[in-house]
Amino acid sequence: MTDCIFCKIARGELPSKKVYEDDELLAFHDIHPAAPVHLLVIPKLHVASLAECDGRHGEVLGKMLLLAPKLAQDHGLVDGFKTVINTGKGGGQVVFHLHVHIIGGANMAHV
């Protein structure tokens, strides 16, 4: 998707504070952090949301989720962290490129 913000970040056309990258995934700091640590994990290939995923996306979804505790540990979230996937307008999704939020470092009960 040429005009997708997260595709542009994945292609290096827009800057981001990158914390992880491999062939399939990219993780970077959220521009509007909701807590002291707020990271986003995205697949490099465009998928609009979790609702657009099917069996072909199982492996990359697994990789995204398995990366979360590693990044949380790397960022000092020893007591735990929150993972969020907003899906669709009704789910609060604003950027329509699949992403997992990793949030922590504060009281997470109401974030």
Q: Can you give the binding site for ligand DGP, defined by CB under 6 A?
A: 5, 16, 28-32, 40, 86, 92-95
- Closest C-alpha among 32, 110, 100, 106 to residue 70: 100
Q: Which of 46, 99, 101, 110 is catalytic?
A: 99
H/E element, 26: strand 25-29
Shortest Å, Cβ 30 to ligand DGP: 5
Shortest Å, Cβ 34 to ligand DGP: 7
Q: Select 77 or 102, whichever has its Cβ closest to ligand DGP.
A: 102
Q: Select 55 or 99, whichever has its Cβ closest to ligand DGP.
A: 99
CA distance 11 to 69: 25
Q: Is 99 an active-site residue?
A: yes
83 strand-pairing partners: 102
Q: Select 5 or 60, whichever has its Cβ closest to ligand DGP.
A: 5
Which amino acids are annotated catalytic? Answer: 99
